[in-house]
Amino acid sequence: MTGRGGDLVITGIGELLTLRPRPGDPLGIVHGGAVVVEGGRVVFAGPSGAMPPSTGDRIDVRGALVSPGLCEPHAHPIFAGSRAAEFDLRAQGRSYGEIQAAGGGILATVRATRAASDEELIASTCGRLDRLLAHGVTVCEAKTGYALDVPGELRLLRLLGEAARRHPIDLSPTLLAHVPSPDRPREETVADFCSRAIPEAARLGAEAFDVYCDAGAFTLDETRTMLLAARAAGLALRVHAEQFTHTGAADLAAEVGARSVEHLEQLAPSSIERLAAAGTVCTLLPGAALTLRLPWPDARRLLDGGCTVALGTDLNPGSSLSESLPLMMSLGCMQMGMSCAEAWVGVTTAAARAVGRDDAGRLWEGSRGDLVIWDAADHREVPQHYGVGLARTVVIAGRVVRGA
Ligand code: NIG
Ligand code: FE
């Protein structure tokens, strides 16, 4: 949703995470802080004693933690149908690949999504955005991908645009080439994406293009062809890479200057330097590793190698049905070698970079007035206290959109 933002004054902040890094303090923490938002933008974020006079509505948070709004860098929020039965089959030992090969998995969601009405898809997408918001998300990347054919993918892109008009979360739409359509030769799908879907998606407001490169999805050559077409159309590039099998897609992502590369469970150590040098954000998706019992992506090694690491939910009906970024922070800390500060960076500034929103995921003069007031006093409690919602109040552009 757009329009001039509100005026708001937040006082009594116990810990304020500005995300303006200082030596020894990557989160730029201010103890005893205040934030002033005017016209939807931060005009002050710092110690209470230095707060300028302001006329906005006041909220005294009585010692609570305040952070920037969280940025979700990787979500598939538009789909219909349920795969709960597959979840149960996997719980009893069947594999994700086996279910997909039998016509289930992504293809089951494609059938349900193609059959759903526009209104159903918009309403269910907005429901998921509500749950993301409830967990503190104010900016969300949103992929198409459950139609497969060009008219269907463009329809999903239009419907994402409609959901964005109805919902306060700032959506960043991505056209996704998910798996080759089973209805036609795969070369035709690739050619259609290059000549029709990508240029039209750019006209419809897509900000990025993403390919799922893996066994059972697109090959490395097909991925390269489509990424180059998307780059020529001016879209930012993302790649679902090295999730189930090592394909070389992460190196390709670095080579073509992708903005982000996703998953990386099967990453070759030699790719780390390339991703760091290319400045490609490594978006790790612990929910998919948890659900599918994949090896945990090695956040520690990527961070030590100089990469920027973001954390996403991978919200989707099959491999990660969760709208909780704080849960992903917990998994990052508990299983992937991240410190609490690194997990916070992963859902704020690093994720904002992956989504292409430089004024989000931080709280200082000129940033967007998106913030979360937490039912916690210490930022480390958010990843520590896992599986519950501690986001108490969510503010977007200086307006309270959830909680009080
Ligand atoms: O990001 N890896 C590919 N695609 C999705 C899963 C989609 C599904 O199972 O519906 C992912 O994990
Ligand atoms: Fe994904």
Q: What is the CATH number of the domain that holds 385?
A: 2.30.40.10
The answer to whether residue 336 sits within a structural domain is yes
In a domain, 290, yes or no: yes
> For position 201, which CATH number holds?
3.20.20.140
Average pLDDT over residues 286-307: 97
Decide if 324 contacts 313 (C-beta within 8 A).
Answer: yes
Together in a domain, 129 and 221: yes
Asked whether residue 298 is assigned to any structural domain, the reply reads yes
Residue nearest to atom 9 of ligand 1 (CA): 318
Residue found under tokens 């917990």 = 330
* Ligand 1 neighbourhood includes 109 CB (under 6 angstroms): yes
Is residue 256 domain-shared with residue 177, that is, in the same domain? yes
- How far is ligand 2, taken at its centre, from the CA of residue 146, in Å? 11
318 CB near ligand 1 (under 6 Å): yes
Instruction: Tell me, in angstroms, the distance from the centre of ligand 2 to residue 220's CA.
Output: 17
Residues with CB under 5 A from ligand 2 (ion): 314
Q: 149 lies in a domain?
A: yes
Domain assignment present for residue 321? The answer is: yes
287 and 234 co-located in one domain? yes
- The reply to whether 261 and 211 lie within a common domain is yes
Pocket test for ligand 1, best of 143, 294, 319, 321 (most atoms within 8 A of CB): 319
Q: What total number of domains does the chain contain?
A: 2
Domain shared by 228 and 91, yes or no? yes
DSSP state of 50: G
Q: How far is the CA of 317 from the centre of ligand 1 (A)?
A: 8
Whole domain around residue 126: which residue ranges?
Answer: 71-355
Nearest CA to ligand 1 atom 6: 319
Ligand 1 atom index nearest CA of 74: 1
Domain assignment of residue 137, yes or no: yes
Residue-wise pLDDT for 357-403, tens only, equals 999 999 999 999 999 999 999 999 999 999 999 999 999 999 999 99
**Residue 1 within any structural domain of the chain:** no
Distance (Å, rounded) from C-alpha 176 to C-alpha 237?
10
Distance of alpha carbon 37 from alpha carbon 44, whole angstroms: 7
Same domain, 83 and 57: no
Closest atom of ligand 1 to 217 CA is: 3
Q: Give 307-361 pLDDT, tens digit per residue.
A: 999 999 999 999 999 999 999 999 999 999 999 999 999 999 999 999 999 999 9
Neighbour-count burial for 27-64, b at 16+ CB within 10 Å, e otherwise = bbbbeebbbbbbebbbbbbbeeeebeebebeebebeeb
Confidence category of residue 404, pLDDT binned at 50, 70, 90: confident
Asked whether residue 2 is domain-assigned, the answer is no
The tokens for 96 are 């994700």
pLDDT digits (tens, 9 = 90+) for 198-236: 999 999 999 999 999 999 999 999 999 999 999 999 999
